[in-house]
DNA sequence: TTGTGTTTTATTGCCTCC
DNA sequence: GGAGGCAATAAAACACAA
């Protein structure tokens, strides 16, 4: 017994046991489908007011208003009495009896109006339903607990739906961000490359002009034939051009490009053919190489464009438009 | 019929309010 | 300190598949 709480009826030897038969069928035709209450109140027969489907003390009912009127009205039965079934019920100690459908409906309607129970309402409901006030209170208490559980389930569903929606939005935004990042990388690399090409072009142009001036100062007969002059000019231009391009690529301050190239295990910085023959030295497939490169500086998930998908028909303008040995397609793979 | 899971009724202990 | 609410729990009643 907690908090000095007093539970009415039930265990008192003076209480009367009242048996309310299960009225689920509400036909009143079943053997026990009638209202019973004990006429005796000695301790030998009603120590726990058993048999009542709605365990209650008759004294409680009568004690509230001194009348059994509402009790009988609520259940629509005027059949009062003892029969053999009563003894059977009294000999089932500790049995719980469920409330009838009518009682539950009545309580439900009352709960819908107000889920808290004031003392007056509790007493009135108890009277109307032929229950102990304590039983009504317990029913409301349990009903509130059920309502709270349902409410929590609903809240959980709402939160879950909200979470799923937010998660989908987040995933979508993340994919878009990755895509845009990859696009930015590709575009900045292309920009870098075009800038280098432009610089190379102007350098070669300067060298070519210098050489022409020098040759023009000397008599042709002293140096060589016209064909030889042309060859020398081409070779010098070519060597300077190649060395300039290689220098630009591997000494560039651009961390992305240089890191990417240098992180490629297929290339050795000391190798003279480093930049242009990487493809030919590779033991790996093109896909594996692409993966190695893209792993080194591209965002995860970025699909590296395949060489065969790239259009080489219109490469960036070469800095040296005579005999520049542009054979390595990988060199152009950054342009679209 | 029986085993098992769910629902309902009731108890207990703790807490808050007046 | 008593009344009442709540959470946790017990236990009976009930539903249902095998």
Residue A100's nearest nucleotide, by CA–C1', is B8
Which residue is nearest nucleotide C5, judged by alpha carbon to C1' distance?
A141
- Output A268-271 pairs: Cβ under 8 A, ≥24 positions apart: none
A96 Cβ neighbours under 8 A, 6+ residues apart = A55
Sign, CA torsion A305/A311/A312/A316: negative
Which residue is nearest nucleotide C2, judged by alpha carbon to C1' distance?
A4
User: What's the whole-number mean pLDDT along residues A29-49?
Assistant: 30
Q: Using CA atoms, how far apart are residues A277 and A220, in angstroms rounded to an integer? A: 38
Report pLDDT digits (tens) over A164-218: 999 999 999 999 999 999 999 999 999 999 999 998 888 887 777 777 777 666 5
Residue A3's nearest nucleotide, by CA–C1', is C2
Report pLDDT digits (tens) over A293-315: 333 333 344 343 333 343 333 33
Q: Which CATH class is domain A101-150?
A: mainly alpha
Q: Which positions of chain C lie under 7 Å from any protein Cβ?
A: 1-8, 11-14
Residue A48's nearest nucleotide, by CA–C1', is B10
Cα A52 to the center of its chain, rounded Å? 52
Give the H or E element holding residue A37. Answer: strand A35-37
Judged against a pLDDT cut of 60, whether residue A143 lies above it is answered with yes
Judged against a pLDDT cut of 70, whether residue A68 lies above it is answered with no
For residue A317, what are its two tokens? 């303008």
- Interatomic separation, CA of residue A155 and C1' of nucleotide C14, rounded (Å): 29
Length reported for chain A = 336
Angle, CA of A328, A332 and A334, to the nearest 5°: 140
Highest mean pLDDT among A7-21, A79-93, A132-146, A263-277: A132-146
Residue A92's nearest nucleotide, by CA–C1', is C12
Nearest to A138 by CA among A166, A114, A109, A107: A107
Report pLDDT digits (tens) over A258-285: 333 333 333 333 333 333 333 333 333 3
pTM of this structure:
0.46
Q: Is the CB of A2 under 7 A from strand C?
A: yes
Nearest to A17 by CA among A137, A119, A97, A77: A97
Q: What is the pLDDT of residue A138?
A: 94
Q: What is the pLDDT of residue A218?
A: 55
- Cα dist from A210 to A203, A204, A321, A322, whole Å: 11, 10, 17, 17
User: What's the whole-number mean pLDDT along residues A118-134?
Assistant: 93
User: What's the whole-number mean pLDDT along residues A64-86?
Assistant: 33
For residue A288, what are its two tokens? 């594996």
């Amino acid at each position: 017994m907690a908090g000095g709480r007093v539970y009415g009826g039930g265990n008192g030897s003076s209480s009367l046991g009242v048996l309310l038969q299960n009225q689920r069928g509400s036909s009143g035709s079943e053997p026990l489908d009638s209202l019973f209450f004990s006429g005796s109140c000695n301790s030998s027969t009603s120590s726990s007011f058993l048999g009542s489907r709605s365990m209650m003390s008759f004294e409680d009912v009568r004690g509230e208003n001194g009348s059994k009127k509402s009790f009988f009205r609520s259940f629509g039965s005027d059949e009062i009495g003892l029969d053999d079934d009563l003894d059977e019920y009294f000999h089932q100690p500790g049995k719980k009896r469920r409330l009838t459908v009518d009682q539950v409906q009545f309580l439900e309607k009352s709960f819908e109006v107000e889920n808290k129970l004031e003392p007056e309402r509790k007493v009135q409901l108890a009277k109307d339903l032929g229950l102990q006030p304590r039983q009504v209170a317990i029913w409301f208490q349990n009903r509130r607990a059920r309502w709270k559980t349902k409410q929590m389930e609903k809240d959980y569903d709402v939160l879950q739906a909200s979470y799923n929606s937010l998660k989908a939005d987040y995933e979508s935004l993340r994919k878009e961000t990755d895509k845009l990042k990859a696009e930015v990388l590709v575009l900045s690399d292309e920009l870098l490359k075009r800038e280098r090409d432009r610089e190379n072009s102007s350098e070669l142009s300067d060298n070519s002009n210098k050489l022409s001036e020098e040759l023009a100062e000397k008599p042709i007969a002293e140096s060589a034939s016209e064909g030889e002059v042309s060859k020398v000019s081409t070779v010098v231009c070519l060597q300077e051009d190649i060395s300039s391009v290689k220098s630009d690529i591997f000494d560039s301050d651009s961390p992305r490009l240089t890191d990417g190239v240098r992180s490629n295990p297929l290339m050795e910085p000391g190798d003279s053919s480093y930049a242009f023959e990487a493809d030919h030295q590779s033991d790996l497939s093109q896909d594996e190489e692409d993966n190695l490169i893209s792993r080194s500086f591209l965002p995860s998930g970025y699909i590296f464009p395949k060489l065969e998908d790239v259009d080489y028909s219109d490469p960036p303008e070469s800095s040296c438009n005579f005999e520049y040995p542009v054979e390595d397609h990988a060199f152009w793979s950054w342009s679209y």
